[in-house]
Amino acid sequence: MESISRRTFSTKLSSGIAGTALLSNMPFACAMDNTSKMKKLGVALVGLGSYSTYQLAPALKDAEHCYLAGIVTGTPKKEKEWMEKYGIPQSNVYNYDNFDTIANNDDIDIVYVVLPNSMHADFSIRAAKAGKHVICEKPMAVSVDECDAIIEACKKANVKLSVGYRMQSDPYTNEVKRLVKEKPFGNVQYVSSDAAYISRGNPGQWRLNKSLSGGGALVNMGVYSIQSNIYGVGMNPISVSAQEFSTRPDYFKNTDETITAQMEFPNGTVAHMFTSHNANANRLFVSFEKGWIELNPCHSYGPLSGRTSKGETIAYPHKSQQMLQMDDFAKHILTGTPNVTPGEMGKRDMIIVEAIYKSISEGGKQISLDLGNMGIVG
Amino acid sequence: MESISRRTFSTKLSSGIAGTALLSNMPFACAMDNTSKMKKLGVALVGLGSYSTYQLAPALKDAEHCYLAGIVTGTPKKEKEWMEKYGIPQSNVYNYDNFDTIANNDDIDIVYVVLPNSMHADFSIRAAKAGKHVICEKPMAVSVDECDAIIEACKKANVKLSVGYRMQSDPYTNEVKRLVKEKPFGNVQYVSSDAAYISRGNPGQWRLNKSLSGGGALVNMGVYSIQSNIYGVGMNPISVSAQEFSTRPDYFKNTDETITAQMEFPNGTVAHMFTSHNANANRLFVSFEKGWIELNPCHSYGPLSGRTSKGETIAYPHKSQQMLQMDDFAKHILTGTPNVTPGEMGKRDMIIVEAIYKSISEGGKQISLDLGNMGIVG
C-alpha cells in the first residue's frame, strides 16, 4: 500500500486527482486537525490468524495514531516471526495463559480481540480488567448477554470499547450515510444488501463450528448486511422476519448456510438482506424517492465501487479500512472524537441476530425490535 | 421510434454499431428467415387505456407480422380518434356489448385483452369463443381458476393463447437466459429482483381497486419479479415465503403496497423479490459461482441497461418490447415457432401469486409449490 499522509491525501483529493463525483464530507477532513502531533497508541493483537496477519498488522504499519506494540498468541512459533517482522520486544509477547499480566505493560493501550467469536467475551472482559481499551472483532459475541457483560466490564474498568466494524470508517459507507442524511435524492424507501461468499475450505474451520462461531453466515457476513441496511436507512429497524435455506448440509453441518431477512423501519422503509456461505454477493442498494445509489462490491476490503442513478461514480482512492478503523478508535481515545463503533452497536446487531434466529425457528414470524437509537452514532 | 427493418437492424448490429459486449444469440437472428413475406395478422385491442394508447398501438405500427386492425372500447369518443389515427374502418370497431360479433370479422386474427385484471378472463374466453387467437395482458387473471378457464376455452376453440409478458421477447431478458443456460460464470447461486414504482396518482384508479385489479403491487409489478427470478435461475421454484408491508394505508386502501418474497429452487438457489407501489426499484441481479450480471433498469419499457462482474456492458439498441412480443406471437401463429408466453406461464405465475398471498396470511410460512416445468419455454 502506498504510504501517503492524510494531509497529502486530502490535498490530492481536493485538487481533483481522485476523479470522484461525490467527494464532500469525507472523513479525511479530520486530517486537518492536530492529532498528528500526538503519541501513537500501542495495540496488542490477540489471536494471529489470517485477519491479524494479512489485514490488521499491515494496517497498523500505516496507521497514524496507533501501532502494533504487542501480540497474544497460543502458537509459540509465531512469536519469533512476528517479533522480527514488526520489531516487537519479547516483553510485549503474551500467550493465553499469561495474558492477564498485560495489565502491567504500559506499551499496550489497546487490546484487539481477534479470536473465534465464542472467545470474544472472555478476552474482551479480561482486557478491560487489565485496564486496556478494547476492540472486539465482529460479531461482538455469541449472545446479547455476552455483549452486555463486555459493555459492563469496560464501563467498570473505565476503558473504551469498540467493535471491529471496519465499514464504519470507510469513505464509501460515510458517503452513503451523507446521501441518506442530506437527501439529494429525497427520502429512502427501500434498501437491499447482500453479504455472501462461497465457502469451500476446510469444513473443520472454526467458522463452521458453532461452538466456536456461535453461528454461520449470519454472524460472519450477515452482520455487514445488518449494518448496511441500518446506515442505508439511517435508523434502527422496528421488526425483522427471516428465512433459512440449506443446500450443502454435509458441509455446513451445524452453522447456517444461507439466510434472508426483512427489516421494517419507523419511517416505513423496508430493507432486505441476503447472507450466505454458499453464494457470492456483496452489494448495497439504496432506493430513494428520486433515484438510487449502489455499492458493489460493498463489504469487501476494497477497493469498493459505487454508482448512482444519475450516472455518477462513487470512488475513493483505496485505503485500508482496518487502518482507518483503528485510527478512528485511537483518536476517540486520544481526543474524544465520537466512537463510531461503540459496544452498544455490537449489542444492537446481536439483538437483531438473535431475533433473526428466533424468526427462523418460528417459521418466518415477524419479530418486534425495541432498539431506539441504540448504536446509531453521529 | 426510428423505423428500421429487422434485416437492416441485424446488419447494423453485426457491423458493430451497437457497441455491445454480449451480442450473441440475439432474438433478432430470426429476422433472417422468410416470415417477412407472410401476411400480417390483424390485432384488435380490447380496452384503449394508456397502455394501448402509448405502448401497444405505436408498437403495432412498427410490427412486422401484425398490425392494428380493430378496436374494442366502451368510450364512444375514442372510436373516431383511433379510426382516423390508425386507419381503422368502422366495421372493425366494437364496444363491449357487441364484442362477440367479432367472430364474423376476418380482419381480426388476434384479440389483445388490455382491460382491468378482473375482466381478463371474461373477454379472453369470449375472444376464444369468437375463434380469435388471444393475448391476455398480465397478470393473466385474478385467480388460478380463471387462468384454467381461459386455457380451457382456448384449447376448446383451437386458438392460440399468450400472456402479455413483454420481457420474454426482450433481448436483455434473452441474454440473461443465455448466460444462465450456457454458464460462462458457472452455476447460478442467488437471484434478486425488484419491480416497484411510487404510485402517487388518483387513489380511485382501477389498479388500487381490488375488485378490478385482484391485488396491488404484487399482481401489477410483482409478476415481473416472479418472472425474472425464474429466468434468472432457469427453472421453477419449489417453495415461496412472503411478507407484506404497509406505510400508506390511507392511499392503498385494499391493495397490497409492498411485498417481499423468497423462493427456493430445486438446485438450491435462493431468489428474493421486492415489489412495491411505494418505492422505486427496477433491477435483476444474478449471482453465479464465478461472477454476476445485473440489469438496472430491468423491467421498464426501456432502454434497459446491464453490466457484468467482468466490467462488460450489456446493451442493445432500443426496440419496443411490445412490438417484439406481438411479433413473436404472430410468428408462433403463422409459422409454429415456440409460444414464448403460453397461458401455462401466466397460470404458473398466478399459482405463485396465490402462494405469496397465502404465505402472508399465514405469517410468512413457507408454501410448497408443485410446478414442474410449467411455463418454462425454450
Mean pLDDT confidence for B353-364: 98
| Geometric angle at alpha carbon A97, from A95 and A99, rounded to 5° | 60
Q: Does the pLDDT at position A53 exceed 80? A: yes
The C-alpha of B190 sits at a distance from chain A's nearest C-alpha, in angstroms, of: 6
Q: Does the pLDDT at position B34 exceed 90? A: no
Cα A154 to Cα A343: distance, rounded to the nearest angstrom: 9
Among all residues of chain A, which has the CA nearest to that of B190?
A: A279
Q: If we measure between CA atoms, which residue out of A136, A141, A251 comes closest to residue A202?
A: A251
Angle at which helices A171-182 and A223-233 cross, to 10°: 30
Cα A185 to Cα A75: distance, rounded to the nearest angstrom: 52
Whether residue B287 sits in one domain with residue B161: no
Cα A97 to Cα A101: distance, rounded to the nearest angstrom: 9
Asked whether the beta carbons of B270 and A274 are under 8 A apart, the reply is yes
Residue B135, domain member (yes or no) = yes
Q: If we measure between CA atoms, which residue out of B63, B73, B113, B64 comes closest to residue B94?
A: B73
Whether residue B265 sits in one domain with residue B309: yes
Whether residue B177 sits in one domain with residue B160: no
Residue A216, domain member (yes or no) = yes
Q: What is the pLDDT of residue A36?
A: 58
The one-character DSSP state at B40 is: P
pLDDT in tens, A162-171: 999 999 999 9
For an interface test with B, the pick among A285, A295, A361 (most B C-beta atoms closer than 10 Å) comes out as: A285
Whether residue A358 sits in one domain with residue A296: yes
Question: Which has the higher per-residue pLDDT, B3 or B109?
Answer: B109
In this predicted complex, what is the ipTM? 0.88
pLDDT in tens, A140-177: 999 999 999 999 999 999 999 999 999 999 999 999 99
> Residue B48 sits in a domain of what CATH number?
3.40.50.720
In a 10 Å sphere around its CB, with 0-12 CB exposed, 13-18 middle and 19+ buried, how is residue B218 labelled?
Answer: buried
> Residue B273 sits in a domain of what CATH number?
3.30.360.10
Mean pLDDT confidence for A6-27: 36
CB-CB neighbors (< 8 A) of A291 in chain B: 280
Residue A334, domain member (yes or no) = no
Parallel, antiparallel, or unpaired: how do β-strands B66-72 and B41-46 relate?
parallel
Answer yes or no: do A287 and B270 touch at CB < 8 A.
no
Q: Does the pLDDT at position B17 exceed 90? A: no
Q: Does the pLDDT at position A38 exceed 90? A: no
Q: What is the pLDDT of residue B25?
A: 39
The C-alpha of B364 sits at a distance from chain A's nearest C-alpha, in angstroms, of: 5
CB-CB neighbors (< 8 A) of A196 in chain B: 190, 287
Q: If we measure between CA atoms, which residue out of B257, B256, B103, B285 comes closest to residue B193?
A: B285
Whether residue B190 sits in one domain with residue B280: yes
Whether residue B211 sits in one domain with residue B122: no
Mean pLDDT confidence for B134-148: 98
pLDDT in tens, B181-238: 999 999 999 999 999 999 998 999 999 999 999 999 999 999 999 999 999 999 999 9
Q: What is the pLDDT of residue B37?
A: 67
The one-character DSSP state at A342 is: B
Q: Which of B189, B272, B294 sits opposite A260 (nearest CB)?
A: B272
Residue B284, domain member (yes or no) = yes
Q: Does the pLDDT at position B19 exceed 50? A: no
Mean pLDDT confidence for A280-287: 97
Asked whether the beta carbons of B58 and B1 are under 8 A apart, the reply is yes
Q: Does the pLDDT at position A238 exceed 50? A: yes
pLDDT-wise least confident of A312-316, B35-39, B245-249: B35-39
Answer yes or no: do B190 and A288 touch at CB < 8 A.
no
**Host H or E run for residue A326:** helix A321-335
Mean pLDDT confidence for A252-279: 97
Domain count, chain B: 2
Q: Which of A189, A196, A262 sits opposite B243 (nearest CB)?
A: A262
Mean pLDDT confidence for B351-373: 97
Among all residues of chain B, which has the CA nearest to that of A283?
A: B285
The C-alpha of A62 sits at a distance from chain B's nearest C-alpha, in angstroms, of: 31
The C-alpha of B350 sits at a distance from chain A's nearest C-alpha, in angstroms, of: 23
Place of cell 435461475: B233
pLDDT in tens, A323-353: 999 999 999 999 999 999 999 999 999 999 9
Among all residues of chain A, which has the CA nearest to that of B282?
A: A287
A93-to-A88, A97, A121, A130 alpha-carbon distances in Å: 8, 12, 21, 15
Mean pLDDT confidence for A122-128: 98
Helix extents (H) in chain B: 6-14, 50-51, 57-62, 76-86, 120-129, 144-157, 171-182, 210-213, 217, 223-233, 321-335, 343-361
Q: What is the pLDDT of residue B33?
A: 52
Q: Does the pLDDT at position B18 exceed 90? A: no
Helix, strand, coil in percent for chain B, rounding step 5: 40, 20, 40
Among all residues of chain A, which has the CA nearest to that of B273?
A: A272
Asked whether the beta carbons of A26 and A174 are under 8 A apart, the reply is yes
Residue B68, domain member (yes or no) = yes
Answer yes or no: do B268 and A247 touch at CB < 8 A.
yes
Q: Does the pLDDT at position B7 exceed 50? A: no
Q: Does the pLDDT at position A16 exceed 60? A: no
Q: What is the pLDDT of residue A9?
A: 34
Q: What is the pLDDT of residue B377?
A: 84
Question: Which has the higher per-residue pLDDT, A49 or A31?
Answer: A49
For an interface test with A, the pick among B197, B240, B251, B260 (most A C-beta atoms closer than 10 Å) comes out as: B260
Whether residue A226 sits in one domain with residue A132: no
Q: What is the pLDDT of residue B5?
A: 33
- Inter-chain Cβ pairs, chain A and chain B, closer than 8 A: 120
For an interface test with B, the pick among A245, A256, A269, A283 (most B C-beta atoms closer than 10 Å) comes out as: A245
Answer yes or no: do B280 and A289 touch at CB < 8 A.
yes
Cα B61 to Cα B69: distance, rounded to the nearest angstrom: 10
Mean pLDDT confidence for A43-48: 98
Cα B52 to Cα B72: distance, rounded to the nearest angstrom: 11
Residue A208, domain member (yes or no) = yes
The C-alpha of A287 sits at a distance from chain B's nearest C-alpha, in angstroms, of: 6
**DSSP string for B123-135:** HHHHHHHTT-EEE
Whether residue A236 sits in one domain with residue A130: no
In a 10 Å sphere around its CB, with 0-12 CB exposed, 13-18 middle and 19+ buried, how is residue A235 labelled?
Answer: middle
Q: Per the structure block, which three cell numbers stand in for A56?
A: 490488521
The C-alpha of B279 sits at a distance from chain A's nearest C-alpha, in angstroms, of: 5
> Above pLDDT 90, what percent of chain B?
88
Cα A216 to Cα A195: distance, rounded to the nearest angstrom: 12
Whether residue B361 sits in one domain with residue B248: yes
Chain centroid to CA A321: how far?
A: 9
Whether residue B237 sits in one domain with residue B99: no
Q: Which of A192, A248, A366 sits opposite B192 (nearest CB)?
A: A192
CB-CB neighbors (< 8 A) of A260 in chain B: 262, 270, 272
Q: Which of B194, B268, B366 sits opposite A364 (nearest CB)?
A: B366
CA atoms within 13 A on the CB side of A142: 18
3-state secondary structure of A41: strand
CB-CB neighbors (< 8 A) of B289 in chain A: 198, 280
Whether residue A260 sits in one domain with residue A359: yes
Answer yes or no: do B292 and A278 touch at CB < 8 A.
no
pLDDT in tens, B296-347: 999 999 999 999 999 999 999 999 999 999 999 999 999 999 999 999 999 9
Answer yes or no: do B190 and A243 touch at CB < 8 A.
no
Q: Which of A166, A187, A220 is the last residue of a domain?
A: A166
Q: What are phi and psi of B327, to 5 degrees?
A: -65, -40
Residue B324, domain member (yes or no) = no
Cα A201 to Cα A184: distance, rounded to the nearest angstrom: 44
The C-alpha of B131 sits at a distance from chain A's nearest C-alpha, in angstroms, of: 46
**Termini Cα distance of chain A:** 30
Whether residue A227 sits in one domain with residue A305: yes
Answer yes or no: do B190 and A276 touch at CB < 8 A.
yes
Q: Which of A144, A166, A188 is the last residue of a domain?
A: A166
B106-to-A205, B42, B93, B131, B132 alpha-carbon distances in Å: 72, 9, 13, 10, 10
Q: Which of A124, A145, A166 is the last residue of a domain?
A: A166
Answer yes or no: do A280 and B262 touch at CB < 8 A.
no
Answer yes or no: do A268 and B247 touch at CB < 8 A.
yes
Mean pLDDT confidence for A286-294: 98
For an interface test with B, the pick among A274, A277, A300 (most B C-beta atoms closer than 10 Å) comes out as: A274
Residue B374, domain member (yes or no) = no
Q: Could you tell me the residue range of the domain that residue A180 belongs to?
A: 167-318+344-368
Q: Does the pLDDT at position A18 exceed 60? A: no
